[in-house]
Amino acid sequence: MKTARIMLATIAVAITVVLVAFNTKSDKMIGITAASINGAEVANPNATTWTLDRSHSSISFSIEHLMVSEVEGKFRKFEGTMTGEKEDYSDAVVDFKADVSSIDTDDDKRDGHLKSDDFFNADKFPNIKFKSTKFKKLAGNKYLLTGDLTIRDITKSVSWSVVSKPTVKDPWGNIKAGFTASLTVNRFDYNLKWNTLTEAGGAVVGKDVNIKVNVEFAKK
């Protein structure tokens, strides 16, 4: 009987130790899980979110036509955010999206062609997307914004040249920040494949697309 009591006491002590250890471990695990679920908030609780002011922003592009002129266009529908903590934006994360069906080159027939599978295939791939991976401050108000650009079903890393404007407060008390970004991409890299040649052998539509983005962000 004495031996049995000793064994029971030993088991009870062991169970108590395990429960204490488990509870301690659980607390830590709960904290880790919360950090994982709310990673952005925990890692950067002071981060500021900036939302795009569409009425004072634009996305435009130009491409060579017949090797003698350039056709210009724009997207009328787009949205974006910028999130970061540092005042110089060097830790900023930019997320941007443009609606392909809103493309406008001032020619309905051409716009319809651009929305077809020869180019963007707006029905199957309705959005052009960009997600930044690095916002590097170069000098003064100049930056290099690197990230993933998705057109159709193709994603490639690109780097935008960015110039920031001064941060101001508008007459209604809103804090605004402005940026101009430019980028040149080869449309064939994104399977915007349509092409035909002139009698002289030149391309009707050039391969390089020059993109310019003017954005105004409002601080939330």
Supply the CATH number for residue 74's domain: 2.40.128.110
One domain for residues 135 and 27: no
Q: Tokens for 180?
A: 């101009």
Domain that holds residue 94: 46-219
Pairing state between β 103-104 and 69-75: antiparallel
One domain for residues 65 and 129: yes
Residue 37 is predicted with a pLDDT of 35
Lowest average pLDDT, out of 35-44, 85-94, 155-164, goes to 35-44
- Please state the length of the chain: 220
pTM above 0.85, yes or no: no
Helix (H, G, I), strand (E, B) or coil at 2: helix
Give residue 66's pLDDT band: very low, low, confident or very high (50, 70, 90).
low
**What's the CA gap between 20 and 89, in Å, rounded?**
46
Give residue 29's pLDDT band: very low, low, confident or very high (50, 70, 90).
very low
Residue 44 is predicted with a pLDDT of 61
Number of domains in the chain: 2
Question: What is the torsion angle, in degrees rounded to the nearest 10, for the CA atoms of residue 143, residue 53, residue 71 and residue 209?
Answer: 40
Higher-pLDDT residue of 15, 109: 109
pLDDT one-digit tens code per residue, 190-210: 999 887 644 444 446 788 999
One domain for residues 34 and 129: no
Higher-pLDDT residue of 7, 92: 92
Q: Which residue is associated with the tokens 């997207």?
A: 75
